[in-house]
Structure 1
Amino acid sequence: MDPRYLIPVVIILFTASVIGYIQYQSGIDTSLSDHQHNCITIGYAVEPPYAYVSGINITGESPEVAQRIVEKLGIPCVTWRQTEFGSLISELEAGRIDVIAAGMFITDERLKRISFSSPSFKVNQGLLVKSGNPSDIHSYKEAVDKKDVIISVLAGSVEQTAFLELGMPEERLIMVPDTPTGRSSVETGYSTGFALSTPSIRWLASHSPPGVVEEAQPFVQSDIPGLKSYGYGAFGFRKEDKTLLSAWNNAMKEYIGSDNHLDLVRRFGVLRDEMPEKEFLLYLSR
């Protein structure tokens, strides 16, 4: 290299290193600015209607809303990363993804590890059963009390926690990695029911052959110790990424519940009465 250019190059590299070191030592949060010139990596798990693959597209309530928020933040592109639901938080903590967009419920246990955005929906408990509901189950509590009932749940899901809190023996719970496996467990009789939120159950029932599976109705909501009466779904972030989370929440505040938002999520079976209450739109992660 020409010596005339060597000193400026060294100065530039040294300056960049010093800036990076100062940011690291002072805890400067660059979680938003880092992505305004680069792609953001968003993780999801296959759980229709919240997230699934259609052809070559990643779609569902959570990815579609995330895409709108990303655009509002001026982030140029998204890289999507699929994983099992139970691995999403670990992927986030390891830095392999920047945001979770999977219809994940806010729970106290999850808040110990990650931060959540304001909720994008609230939903009730639901259960997928064989057509005719042969075991006559109309609540999670009934499923626990009937000793011959076996329930499938997504590994790491709020439904898994709910059943354990209600006293369901672990040997009567089947952990499945995704919703197709859960539905198959009911269709084949491997389990009596598959526990998910109501939009997911509606989706699975409406996208199955007639006369095979159905949503258990009527369905009574069971009080679960330590869990809210509704499931509030939100986007997940690393605890240190406060700037990105704050900007994401500000964009959501203008969008969630708007006509454009309702038109978007209605096709995934998420209805107006499943929008979070206004006070929850101002939800601040702990």
Structure 2
Amino acid sequence: MGRVQRLIALCVAGVLALMAIFFFQPGGDDALGRLRKTGVVRIGYAVEAPFAVLGDIGEITGEAPEIARHVVERLGISHIEWHQVELGGLIPELRAGRIDVIAAGLFITPERAEKVLFSRPTMAVRQAMLVPAGNPRGLRSYMEMAGRWDIAVAVLAGSIEDTLMARLGVAGGRLLRVPDALTGRRAVETGLADALLLSEPSLRWMLSRGEPARLEVAVDDELESGLPAFAFRLDEPKFRDVWDEALAAYLGSEEHLAMLASFGLSWTPPATQKTGG
């Protein structure tokens, strides 16, 4: 093969490689078209009731997955492939292209919005604390706890509470990072932590299925309500936008309100906003 032929062959190979990157990369402007063609969308979740719950036979349900099912049907995608991931691993899995959407009641924060695109919020949620019955340490707010050196708190690793406590200077033995809410509850019950910091709906769900006489929920009225939402890759704004359109048509509907009631939730409409795109 002559020099010209080798040059042509190299050029052709380069073009084919670029085409492969364009058509087969996980992101791209035509993410919805790609998902409709394959018929499968990969949705990541972390178990945190009532936002994401494992049912009696292991099926995934909860506020975020049930909304996702409705939206996916409206978008014309025939099948959902569910991926259970610890909370702190959801955004890395999304950015690596191993899942297409996060449906886990993930709260919108500025730090997360630098890494993912968020949909409109699905509700407004108050922050709270799980404490021993009678609240013997008199805990009323996250800010107060951060300033008390005699208080140890449990948080889910990678959660908004984890970020907030670290930002307020809570570290070392005062900050116990746990993989899930049940482990956090055990930490409070055994005295390893004075409180588990989590959203009010999650903590009330937990007490409704445990021994409420031993624990109680204290709500932080000082913090602004958190805004849970779905998350998407940064290079898929069109996919996020069409998801958002279907979401807007569903939120507040009779079907949506009935679904929330089945998980002991009521709808607090958030101010319409999108963070990160």
Q: TM-score range by the shorter chain?
A: 0.7 to 0.9
List alignment gaps of at least 5 residues for structure 2.
Answer: 1-12
Deviations 1:106-143 (A, max 9, x none): 11101111111111111111011112212111111222
**1:177–1:284 distance in 2 versus 1, CA, 3 Å:** closer
* 1:48 alignment partner AA: A
Q: Which residue of 2 aligns with 1:32?
A: 32
Q: Which residue of 1 aligns with 2:270?
A: 276
Give the one of 210, 213, 228 matched to 1:211: 213
Q: TM-score, normalised by structure 2?
A: 0.87
Number of residues paired by the alignment? 259
Deviations 1:217-256 (A, max 9, x none): xx34335xxxxx2211000101111221111001011111
Q: Which residue of 2 aligns with 1:265?
A: 260
Q: Which residue of 1 aligns with 2:48?
A: 47
Q: Distance between the aligned counterparts of 2:21 and 2:148, measured in 1?
A: 60
Give 1:28 shift. Answer: 5.5
List alignment gaps of at least 5 residues for structure 1.
Answer: 1-13, 224-228
* 2:227 alignment partner AA: Y
Matched, 1:252 2:247: yes
Q: Distance between the aligned counterparts of 2:28 and 2:62, measured in 1?
A: 34
Give the one of 114, 119, 122 matched to 1:120: 122
Q: Distance between the aligned counterparts of 1:33 and 1:220, measured in 2?
A: 43
| Structure 2 counterparts to residues 1-286 of structure 1, below 5 A | 20-21=19-20, 23=22, 29-37=29-37, 38-54=39-55, 55-216=57-218, 219-223=219-223, 229-272=224-267, 274-277=268-271, 279-280=272-273, 283=274, 285-286=276-277
Q: Which residue of 2 aligns with 1:226?
A: none
**1:150–1:263 distance in 2 versus 1, CA, 3 Å:** same
Structure 2 SS opposite 1:269: coil
Percent sequence identity is: 41
Checking the alignment, whether the CA contact within 8 Å between 2:126 and 2:199 is kept in structure 1 is yes
Q: Distance between the aligned counterparts of 2:17 and 2:126, measured in 1?
A: 51
Structure 1 SS opposite 2:42: strand
